[in-house]
Structure 1
């Protein structure tokens, strides 16, 4: 009888664990306009809560946009790091990009736009 009860509890734990999916968070940012060949930047600060953060991937798409970061693969509880996005248009017109941040519990998709003038 105890074996069946333990098996039932174990099955419920497995069932609950299988439904913990990553949360997708979508955001956007507009750099506005920048003269061709100049650079504008924006920095996002991140702080880990009591359990810390694990970064699986931080990447940037878009030829007019670049990123740099001091975020380690694992950020200890209550520590901080930053992600900086640079907008440097090489030609006039609208430019778009995407900053992707993949963490254990969340995935951030930040659409970024700017205009070269």
Structure 2
């Protein structure tokens, strides 16, 4: 079975990869890799994410079993997020992608500059 297969399983796998590989999902998984965090901690740690997009991302990851949400019965309510055992299986992959991006920033910047110069 290849990446471009059109079987039901391949279509579902693409759906999950779209969710896990999304801009904010990668950041959330990476942030939660070290420790459980509250919403505000996640929001501060992920530059550029809106309150709404972080909420949507956390709900989607929770629905897929990647993130757990724990609500404490205090006033005001305290909510913490953590990776589930399934979510923890993504850490090496996500970490590898982040490391790859960091290791190749200069090459990517040079490629973008060359491309942009051709487009002008």
Could you say whether these structures have the same fold, taking a TM-score greater than 0.5 normalized by the shorter chain as the test? no
Please say which structure displays the higher CA radius of gyration: 1
* TM-score when normalising by structure 1: 0.23
Higher RCO (CA < 8 A, seq sep 6+): 1
The TM-score with structure 2 as length reference comes to: 0.23
**Structure number with higher helix proportion:** 2
Q: Which structure has the highest strand share of the two?
A: 1
